A = this chain, B = another copy of it.
Amino acid sequence: MEKEYKTEEEFLKNYDSSKFEKLSATTDILIFSVASSKQDNYRKLNNKHFSVLLVKRKQHPFKDMWCLPGGFIGIDETSEDAAKRVLARETNLHNIYLEQLYTFDEVNRDPRMRIISISYVALVDKNRLDDTLYEDASWFNMEIEEDEKNIKINLDNGEENFDVVIKKTLKELTTDRYKYTIEKNTRIAFDHAKTIASGISRIKNKLEYTDIAFNLMPEYFTLGELQQVYEVILGKKLLDPAFRRIIASKVEQTEMTRVNGGHRPSKLFKYKGNK
């Protein structure tokens, strides 16, 4: 006890509190999902969209603009715990895929005071959600167009529709890591447009070499549905046989089929787990 105190004291002596003021930390969460919208043609499958949950700000700064759900990190909780807390508040769900994305800490990212943001990505199956949303939250469908220089995201929640453009600049030195700068943005608060772009990029990458896609799926699904999820996230059509080859080892066929309109019914599959 004596020693504890002594080292603490020693530490604080060396800790220049005028220079190294403490700072506030929040967690901001990208809650991603895939939404389905009915098609006009009875034969056709539902249209799918990669979507993100945003919250309308009720206060200054950035009043009436959209931001990511988030919250302050308590002195006795980890950022992951804080993220789970926010996630439960927004979705009423526990046990959701969650991974740390990046820590955004530009000095003036919040005009009020120094607040760093430890951001997380969550993936949820929309079927698990009830329709009631917390406060002023809203799901935005995203259309993503990405090239070498820019990521353009069109966001649409049925009432509002706007574009965000994030410029990717290669950082100095040999690396593939991009630095994101907001090129066009009128409706997203803080630096959250960057967070969204980073999160999309992370999920797109991981889609190709991990099984995260299954977090967006219900227990039973058709391979067509699964393929659609890959397609809307990657932003490109995939060839059926190739997709089936790749996915085959990860799924398990069931006896059930889904009858879905004027075409051949499809078998239902479920996730097999990693090998």
Which residues of A come within 8 Å of B, CB atoms?
3-4, 6-8, 10-11, 14-16, 19-25, 59-61, 72-79, 95-97, 99-100, 102-103, 105-107, 111-114, 116, 118, 170, 172-177, 206, 209-212, 214-215, 271, 273-274
Nearest chain B CB to A74 CB, angstrom units: 6
Contacts of A212 in B (CB 8 A): 174-175
Contacts of A173 in B (CB 8 A): 95-97, 215
- Contact pick for A7, options B4, B112, B271, CB 8 Å: B112
Contacts of A23 in B (CB 8 A): 22-25, 73, 75
Q: Are B105 and A78 in contact (CB under 8 A)?
A: yes
Q: Which of A10, A78, A99 has the most CB of B within 10 A?
A: A78
Assembled-state Cα–Cα distance A24/B6 (Å): 20
Q: Are A74 and B20 in contact (CB under 8 A)?
A: yes
- Helix, strand, loop or mixed for chain A's interface? loop
Assembled-state Cα–Cα distance A15/B59 (Å): 13
Q: Are A78 and B106 in contact (CB under 8 A)?
A: yes
Q: Are B19 and A74 in contact (CB under 8 A)?
A: yes
Q: Count copies of this chain in the complex.
A: 2
Q: Provide 5 A-B residue pairs closer than 8 Å at the C-beta atoms, listed in order of the A residue.
A: A23-B75, A25-B116, A76-B107, A79-B105, A174-B214
- Contact pick for A75, options B15, B20, B72, CB 8 Å: B20
Contacts of A113 in B (CB 8 A): 8, 11
Q: Are B105 and A211 in contact (CB under 8 A)?
A: no
Contacts of A114 in B (CB 8 A): 75-76
Nearest chain B CB to A140 CB, angstrom units: 24
Q: Which residue of B lies closest to A110 (CB)?
A: B11
Nearest chain B CB to A54 CB, angstrom units: 20
Q: Are B103 and A118 in contact (CB under 8 A)?
A: yes
Q: Which residue of B lies closest to A25 (CB)?
A: B23
Contacts of A3 in B (CB 8 A): 60
Q: Are B59 and A175 in contact (CB under 8 A)?
A: no
Q: Which residue of B lies closest to A109 (CB)?
A: B78
Contacts of A107 in B (CB 8 A): 76-78
Q: Which residue of B lies closest to A102 (CB)?
A: B100
